[in-house]
Amino acid sequence: MIVNTLIGFFAEYKAARSMEALRELGAQKTRVRRGGKEAEVKAEELVPGDIVLLGKGSLVPADSLTPRG
């Protein structure tokens, strides 16, 4: 019974780590100019005032299309 519990625990642990790795792999990053310096940030970390730098094939973060007001 203890062996089954340990096997289940480690299997669940590995699955959770795999899911986190996949989540990080799929996270969209974008290049911005923030405070006069270029940086690469996750799309969900965009803040008002960031200047999104676009190039060929760049994906436009949806939050950057929100009108100001």
Mean of the pLDDT values across residues 48-56?
88
How far apart (Å, rounded) are the C-alpha atoms in residues 52 and 30?
Answer: 7
How far apart (Å, rounded) are the C-alpha atoms in residues 35 and 52?
Answer: 12
Could you read off the pLDDT of 2-21 as tens digits, one per residue? Answer: 889 999 999 999 999 998 88
* Per-residue confidence band for 32, with pLDDT thresholds at 50, 70 and 90: very high
Alpha-carbon separation of residue 63 from 4, 43, 48 (angstroms): 46, 8, 10
Does this model's pTM top 0.85? My answer is: no
In whole numbers, what is the pLDDT of the chain averaged over residues?
84
